[in-house]
Structure 1
Amino acid sequence: MDYILKYAYYVLILSILMGISTWKLFKKMGLNPIFSFIPFFNYYLILKETKHPKWWCAMAYLPIVGPIMMTVFHLFLMKHFGKSSALQKLMTIFLPFIYMAIVNYSKDAEVYAEDDLYLTDAEKSEQKKETFLGSITFAIVFATIIHTFITQPFGIPTGSMERTLLVGDFLFVNKLNYGFRMPMRPLALPFLQGTIYDPQGDGNPKNDPKSYVDAVKLPYLRLPGWEKVKRNDIVVFNYPQDSVHTAIDRKDPYVKRCVAVAGDVVEMRAGKLFVNNKPEVILGDQEEQHKYIVKASSQIDIPSLYKNLEYLPVREIQTDGGYEYDFQGLTDKTAKIIKEIPQVLDIKQEILPKDSAMLSYKVNAERTAYTKTIDTTQSIFPINRKWNPDFYGPLRIPKKGDVVTLNQETLPEYRWIISEYEHNHLENKNGKIFINGKETNTYTIKQNYYWMMGDNRDASLDARFFGFVPEENIVGKPMFTWLSLQGVFSDKSSSYQAPFKIRWDRMFKATNTGEAHKTSYWWIAALILILFFGWEYFVKLFGKKQTEEEN
């Protein structure tokens, strides 16, 4: 209800601005000037008068799409009154209600009568340009509608889901399965997630210009879907602790596997995941990986290893006894194969000791040695527990309606839920906890939460570090891989880089099936492309033949 009221509020403001700046123009078109204040109907009449499809008015106030369509309608109206020079178009685009008001209240504003019979060659050329630009505009509008309301392309830039999803896989994400989340920043540039890349910037996304207007905001609203987020679903969600963007739908998108849902208890025991005290279920298409340290008597032929297994170490160090390799993620199967390499002396999964801090590695300038250090950049969640990624929990995932106990021990676990995800004012003063100004020792959870982890367990920034994922952060469910490019994203942490190639065998295969062997539907994609690009050709060819037969 809050969303609808806020949406109606914005529509009302825009309709008043539209009426104030165009009512005289409506009158000069022989229409009742009151109609200029009526949302949707005012644009319907403009489209009718300018001889454009009247159903386009339905898109006038859609989030993201609406501003584009309104601009198009304003240009139609101004052209109808003879205001179509380059400067006048720019004024209409960037100062719409101001410029239209100037035209509206001027004495010489009259309907401009066009007649194709009397158009000059220059005017006909300009008309062709406008037709072409109109086609481009509506192609952008159509793509924006699909991108915003139905499905969104998403690229995999990191290896947290290897080998289930590979770096360089490009997915289409279905936004409707779990229920479509209405846009919360309706005034935004299409296709951009959060920021506009600034080539002259300092590289900090906090300093890049935003792709949306943060002041124009709508509350969270999710429409009904046909399924709930389930255990083992691969899910795209907005990173909960994104410090750059306050808008939920503009936070960075992440893709992980939902290993536990609201009400479940998660625990890591020596690098193995347990859910509700049972070992996790490994699906057919899930290739779980872990970090291994490999010691060899001599240098391993890494290019040959990659050619056969498509695995690269992130680090190679020469030691007194030979060479040491750090493989960020190996499956049990590939670990056994590497163990059989003649010069390999030892291979061991690295498991952090219980009750130890999270570790990182610092390599010296000569790349001959590295030391272990406490990793302060990836503090474990919650920050007051002596857990690490291999020994973690048990931890219960909050469920809507849960009444949780608050004290100094449990507060770090629920702090973000109370203050950030459920938007309360939280204070912790003199050992006492205040929510919205009232002292309390309990809190009732308002929404469901999920636990997201990467299949590449030791190379994944996941829920063990950023905590619970709120239901309102869920974007959707990946449907299929439409493109897969090896080597498109460079891994700066690795001494080696994979060569560039197109992975044809991965393209147009469905995700989230749980099956080891997936069917490729590339032929359906090819058929759609042929129909899409060939339709106009066949229509023209048929029309040409029909004309010849009539003559």
Structure 2
Amino acid sequence: MNYFLTYTVYVLILSILMGISTWKLFKKMGYSPLFAFIPFYNYFIILKETKHPKWWAILSYLPIVGPIMMSVFHIYLMKKFGKSLFQHQLLTVILPFIYMATVNYSKDVELEDENANELFLTDEEKNAKKKDTFIGSITFAVVFATIIHVFVTQPFGIPTGSMERTLLVGDFLFVNKWSYGYRLPMRPVAIPFLQGTIYDSQKDGNPKNDPKSYVEGVKLPYTRILQFNKPQKNDVVVFNYPQDSVHTAIDRKDPYVKRCVAVAGDTFEMRGGKLFVNGKPETVLGDQEVQHAYTVNAGEQLDIPSLYNTYGFLPVREMQNDKGFEYIFQGLTDKTAAEIKALPNVISMEENIYPKDSATISYKLNADKTAYTKSIDTTQSIFPINKPWNQDWYGPVRIPKKGDVVAINKETLPMYQWIISEYEHNSLENKNGKIFINGKEASQYTIQQDYYMMVGDNRDASLDARFFGFVPEENIVGKPMFTWMSLQGAFSDASSSYQAPFKVRWERMFKATNTGEANKTSYWWIAAMILILFFGWEYFVKLFRKKKTEEDL
């Protein structure tokens, strides 16, 4: 309800600005000046008077699409009153209500003569008209793509190996935004197709200074509609990275893709690199392969390119020492590991498993028990910071569920502080050993939404919930539908000394991603049919128009 109330307020503000800046122009077109203040109907009139499809008016206040369409409609109105030069159009876009107001309140503004014969247009005017037609076509192509991107499905690339061998580095997916109910856009004024920032400026080395692709000041609260399903165990899910400190807008945080291994109310645990849910070993689906990291010592250098061609995904770091060569492999299946171990120049091979109770980073309470200090300085941090866990020995931990009442104290606060302050938007303070939520001392807290444990299939090469914690429901984007393109070598791998050769993986294209089957069905024929219908329809439309023009002559 808050979402639609806030949305209505924005619409009313824009409508008032529209009315104040154009009411005289509406009067000159023969309408009541009050019509300039009525949402949607004011743009309906502009489209009617400028001879454009009137149903376009429904696009005028849609999130992200709306600002584009409103600019187009404003340009149509200005052209109606003779303001058709480039500088007029530029001012209409960047200063819409200010420039339209100057036209509205000027004394000499008049409607253009609609009966002017096109035969008497100059070459310059004809070229300008063709240019406008071309720009209009491009604009509406962008608008159509934006509508699909914002309201239906979003493309997503796989740049890292955390989901190998289910999703490969270089896979490009389409994500269904309606899988778990549609999350309404929270930043309605934004540049289409961009996620968080326009570009990486590297200004001061601080990504917070990079130019944003959205207007932070215009915001709407989290709301999800038509939610008939929630993420289930074993679903591959796309979500916004919870602890992205650069972007405060939830739907503008970096997108991640992992497997949902535990849902709200489940208990998650890692034992010696093996995953357990509710005390039982994980269910491994047909499209998954259990993988581990290994250290290999070899007397002579291994032929890594040949191994990559044989086994596919094979990120590895190579180091030379006095005894020969040391290789750290990520993501080896049991079968691949056994075959590499059998190579004649391999001296030893050992699976990399952290010792139990050795945190990748360890934090301890100060003597006065008011804060935590870091005792081991490494590159990764396990969640929560006060547990002696690591990626191989983790938990057990219960995934928070909506309605859970949890105890809040010095021991539990690191587990729940992000939930309380960031995900559920409360003020949280720790004063002299006492915890205050929204200004009141608290010893317990009621969880307001469901949370999920998202972990990569390639467990030893995955930045996942073991490091950044629980994923809130409000961060869920949707479920990958199918791979539309797969390019080996499309992304460089920072975890590997070897860059995979570039090639197109034709066998992966247009295959569904979330079936769990080892041999997925390819739907390339559907894509081919859509392309044939699209270009065939365009051909017959042009043919029909040409024939009609010849008949009219």
TM norm structure 2: 0.94
TM-aligned CA distance change 1:175 to 1:277, over 3 Å: same
| Equivalent position of 1:85 in the other structure | 85
- 1:49-64 equivalences under 5 Å are 49-64=49-64
TM-aligned CA distance change 1:272 to 1:295, over 3 Å: same
Report the residue type matching 1:6 in the other structure: T
Instruction: Give the secondary structure class of the aligned counterpart of 1:9.
Output: helix
Q: Distance in 1 between matches of 2:482 and 2:495?
A: 28
**Residue 544 (structure 1) shift:** 4.7
Instruction: Give the secondary structure class of the aligned counterpart of 1:294.
Output: strand
TM-aligned CA distance change 1:199 to 1:425, over 3 Å: closer
Q: Distance in 1 between matches of 2:504 and 2:469?
A: 35
| Equivalent position of 1:34 in the other structure | 34
- 1:96-495 equivalences under 5 Å are 96-114=96-114, 115=116, 116-198=118-200, 201=203, 204-358=206-360, 376-495=378-497
TM-aligned CA distance change 1:32 to 1:204, over 3 Å: same
Question: 2:399·2:451 contact (CA, 8 Å) conserved in 1?
Answer: yes
Report the residue type matching 2:391 in the other structure: P
Instruction: Give the secondary structure class of the aligned counterpart of 1:171.
Output: strand
Instruction: Give the secondary structure class of the aligned counterpart of 2:183.
Output: coil
**Residue 543 (structure 1) shift:** 5.2
**Residue 203 (structure 1) shift:** 5.9
| Equivalent position of 2:367 in the other structure | none
| Equivalent position of 1:364 in the other structure | none
| Equivalent position of 1:370 in the other structure | none
**Residue 139 (structure 1) shift:** 0.5
Report the residue type matching 1:51 in the other structure: K
Question: 2:201·2:210 contact (CA, 8 Å) conserved in 1?
Answer: no
Q: Distance in 2 between matches of 1:111 and 1:493?
A: 65
Report the residue type matching 1:342 in the other structure: P
Q: For residues 360-417 of structure 1, what are the alpha-carbon distances to aligned partners after superposition, in whole Å with 9 as ceiling and x for unaligned?
A: xxxxxxxxxxxxx955332110000000000000000000000001111011100000
Question: 1:161·1:455 contact (CA, 8 Å) conserved in 2?
Answer: yes
Q: Distance in 1 between matches of 2:205 and 2:285?
A: 39
**Residue 335 (structure 1) shift:** 1.1
Q: For residues 58-114 of structure 1, what are the alpha-carbon distances to aligned partners after superposition, in whole Å with 9 as ceiling and x for unaligned?
A: 010000000000000000000000000111111101000000000000011111123
Report the residue type matching 1:93 in the other structure: V
Question: 1:305·1:311 contact (CA, 8 Å) conserved in 2?
Answer: no
Instruction: Give the secondary structure class of the aligned counterpart of 1:475.
Output: strand
Q: Distance in 2 between matches of 1:536 and 1:407?
A: 66
Q: Does 1:6 align with 2:15?
A: no
Number of residue pairs the alignment of both structures matches: 539
Q: Distance in 2 between matches of 1:396 and 1:162?
A: 26
Structure 2: gaps of 5 or more residues = 362-374
Moved more, 540-549 or 73-82: 540-549
Question: 1:260·1:450 contact (CA, 8 Å) conserved in 2?
Answer: yes
**Residue 539 (structure 1) shift:** 2.8
Q: For residues 327-353 of structure 1, what are the alpha-carbon distances to aligned partners after superposition, in whole Å with 9 as ceiling and x for unaligned?
A: 011111211221222222222211100
Report the residue type matching 2:208 in the other structure: K
Question: 1:262·1:397 contact (CA, 8 Å) conserved in 2?
Answer: yes
**Residue 286 (structure 1) shift:** 1.3
Question: 1:478·1:511 contact (CA, 8 Å) conserved in 2?
Answer: yes
Question: 1:355·1:391 contact (CA, 8 Å) conserved in 2?
Answer: yes
Q: Distance in 2 between matches of 1:549 and 1:9?
A: 52
TM-aligned CA distance change 1:130 to 1:203, over 3 Å: farther
Report the residue type matching 2:73 in the other structure: F
Question: 1:177·1:476 contact (CA, 8 Å) conserved in 2?
Answer: yes
Question: 1:229·1:261 contact (CA, 8 Å) conserved in 2?
Answer: yes
Report the residue type matching 1:103 in the other structure: V
Q: Distance in 1 between matches of 2:206 and 2:122?
A: 52
Report the residue type matching 2:523 in the other structure: Y
Q: For residues 421-460 of structure 1, what are the alpha-carbon distances to aligned partners after superposition, in whole Å with 9 as ceiling and x for unaligned?
A: 0000111111211111111101000000000000110111
Q: Distance in 2 between matches of 1:541 and 1:417?
A: 60
**Residue 313 (structure 1) shift:** 4.2
Instruction: Give the secondary structure class of the aligned counterpart of 1:303.
Output: helix
Q: Distance in 1 between matches of 2:185 and 2:298?
A: 54
Report the residue type matching 2:527 in the other structure: A
Q: Distance in 1 between matches of 2:288 and 2:3?
A: 39
Moved more, 113-122 or 399-408: 113-122
Report the residue type matching 1:9 in the other structure: V
Q: Distance in 1 between matches of 2:377 and 2:514?
A: 33
Report the residue type matching 1:407 in the other structure: N
Q: For residues 159-217 of structure 1, what are the alpha-carbon distances to aligned partners after superposition, in whole Å with 9 as ceiling and x for unaligned?
A: 11111111111000000010110111101000000001146746643221000000010
Moved more, 532-541 or 33-42: 532-541
Structure 1: gaps of 5 or more residues = 360-372
Q: Distance in 2 between matches of 1:534 and 1:289?
A: 47
Q: Distance in 2 between matches of 1:10 and 1:317?
A: 59
TM-aligned CA distance change 1:542 to 1:81, over 3 Å: closer
Instruction: Give the secondary structure class of the aligned counterpart of 1:127.
Output: helix
Question: 1:3·1:218 contact (CA, 8 Å) conserved in 2?
Answer: yes
Report the residue type matching 1:531 in the other structure: L
Moved more, 143-152 or 198-207: 198-207
**Residue 319 (structure 1) shift:** 2.8
Question: 1:382·1:413 contact (CA, 8 Å) conserved in 2?
Answer: yes
TM-aligned CA distance change 1:312 to 1:248, over 3 Å: same
Question: 1:313·1:325 contact (CA, 8 Å) conserved in 2?
Answer: no
Question: 1:509·1:520 contact (CA, 8 Å) conserved in 2?
Answer: yes
Q: Distance in 1 between matches of 2:360 and 2:297?
A: 23
TM-aligned CA distance change 1:200 to 1:462, over 3 Å: closer
Q: Distance in 1 between matches of 2:273 and 2:132?
A: 62
TM-aligned CA distance change 1:177 to 1:311, over 3 Å: closer
**Residue 550 (structure 1) shift:** 9.8
Question: 2:315·2:493 contact (CA, 8 Å) conserved in 1?
Answer: no
Question: 2:315·2:495 contact (CA, 8 Å) conserved in 1?
Answer: no
| Equivalent position of 1:362 in the other structure | none
Instruction: Give the secondary structure class of the aligned counterpart of 1:408.
Output: coil
Instruction: Give the secondary structure class of the aligned counterpart of 1:393.
Output: strand
Sequence identity percentage: 75
